[in-house]
Structure 1
Amino acid sequence: MGESGGDVREQREEISLLSEELMQLSVKGLKVVPDEKPTLICTIWTGKLYNPESFKAQMRSVWKTKKKFEIQLAGHNLYLIMFESEEDLELIMEGRPWLFRKSLILFDRLTHSVKRSKICLNSSPVWLKIGPCLPEFDKKDLLHAIGVTFGGVIRSEISGEWCRLKINLNVQKPLRRGIFVSSDNRNQWWISFKYEKLPLFCFGCGRLGHGLRNVVS
């Protein structure tokens, strides 16, 4: 009977180990698959640790959607957000940039299954305030020229001598403080950028996602 009991224990251990191995193999092979509902995939541009439940709770309190939405953890610092309506999804995308604890949330529309290794979330629309603009420049032309250096203009607004420009900001690049412009290829003027709803960034290197004290020399 003792030998029989030993055999049973060994079988249980083998079964337990096999279950763990199967789980690990299953996890490695998973793809991020969109829901039938309108779905966003998002991540938080930060190196700090945080509680995913606190992120979910804050978004539920901040986003004023007409219908309910669901947030699911899809991996480390990776979430799927499923909406009941396309209108609510568009509302959240239009309201960008969104912040969580002073860190930028990056979004993209998920329309087909994709491997986690292929997911690339590295940009977000942000507003720049530019001005006061000198009378030497046509404001529309100036906004277009500045927008081109960011990859294009999403939206622009002109109010007196001040202008606002919505561009797609690459979070992997340092923040630009401004740009030199010229009207006659001789005289140059410096135009500074003021970023609205600016997330946590480093004054030392200009990069998003960390403060100066987090920089390692």
Structure 2
Amino acid sequence: MEAEDLASQWERLHLSKEESACFHVKQENINGDEKRDKYCMVGKALTEKGVNNEGFRITMSQIWRLEGWVTFKELGEQCFLIEFQKIRDKEKVLSGRPWFFDRHLLTMMEVDDKESIDALQFRFEPFWIQLHNLPLSVMTKGFGEQFAEAIGLVIRVDAEEDGRAWGRCLRVRVAVDLNKPLLRGKWLKLDDKQHWVAFKYERLQNFCFHCGVLNHKGKGCLRSHNAQQGDTQPSTQFGPWL
């Protein structure tokens, strides 16, 4: 059950006097001089099937090639609490996203020890996106920052020191919303001419070809299910070409 569902359920209950009394935490009861959460993050594999815990631990440890140790604690629902010995190892993993396990996206969030694990919402994951068919005059850092806002929060534009990014495509790093369909492209009008700017997502693996979202595959797609209930076969508007 989602955290917001639990919260709304508790709001409808009639609490007793003892249940309503709020317990206040004293600062001296919080142990540890150094914040442990700085070394931790939570990772969730976006898969509709279970994850082999030992296989996950071994595979990700080998892929990341860390300097120090790393531990994995299962939290349920393909979710893990991941603790690193060294901060720079954690930063290396976060900056190297997206990561995949068995072709399923591993979405990650940093930990705040003042927040509940159940309250975490895995919604965004950074991707490098290639913008193809752009006129050379707009292949710049400034244009990339403005144009890519249609996709999501722009993290970085791959450009030279002078701001130019001339080449086969313009690369932008964007925090993609896992609950929204991937944008396949966007029309651009320069002077009197229109250009179709096609998007390609680097290191993109499994996602839903029916509705284009990253947080589920075909079996959990409501669009595909609703179409199958009718007379028409569901059409796939997305594919591996993205």
Map of 1:207 onto structure 2:
213
Q: Distance in 1 between matches of 2:93 and 2:61?
A: 12
Q: Between the two structures, name the one with larger relative contact order (CA 8 Å, sep ≥ 6).
A: 1
Match for residue 178 of structure 2 among 165, 171, 180? 171
Structure number with bigger Rg: 1
Map of 1:137 onto structure 2:
138
Q: Percent identity?
A: 27
Q: Distance in 2 between matches of 1:192 and 1:136?
A: 17
Secondary structure at 1:202's aligned position in 2?
coil
C-alpha distance 139-110 of structure 1, shift in aligned 2 (>3 A): same
Q: Distance in 2 between matches of 1:138 and 1:57?
A: 42
C-alpha distance 120-211 of structure 1, shift in aligned 2 (>3 A): closer
Residues matched between the structures, number: 183
Q: Distance in 2 between matches of 1:36 and 1:155?
A: 26
Map of 2:53 onto structure 1:
52
- 1:198 pairs with 2:223: no
- 1:82 pairs with 2:83: yes
**Once the two structures are superposed, what CA deviation does each residue of 1:61-104 show, in whole Å capped at 9, x if it has no partner?**
11111111111112332211111111111000010000011111
Map of 1:98 onto structure 2:
99
Cα pair 2:124 2:178 within 8 Å, conserved: yes
| RMSD between superposed Cα atoms in Å | 2.1
C-alpha distance 211-121 of structure 1, shift in aligned 2 (>3 A): closer
What TM-score, normalized to structure 1?
A: 0.76
What TM-score, normalized to structure 2?
A: 0.68
**Once the two structures are superposed, what CA deviation does each residue of 1:22-55 show, in whole Å capped at 9, x if it has no partner?**
xxxxxxxxxxxx8466101111112222322221
**Letter in structure 2 aligned against 1:48:** K
Note the C-alpha offset of 1:211: 4.3
Q: Distance in 1 between matches of 2:37 and 2:202?
A: 35
Q: Distance in 1 between matches of 2:166 and 2:56?
A: 36
Unpaired runs of at least 5, structure 1: 1-33
Q: How does 1:151-190 map to 2 (within 5 A)?
A: 151-157=152-158, 158-184=165-191, 187-190=193-196
Secondary structure at 1:154's aligned position in 2?
strand
Q: Distance in 2 between matches of 1:37 and 1:168?
A: 21
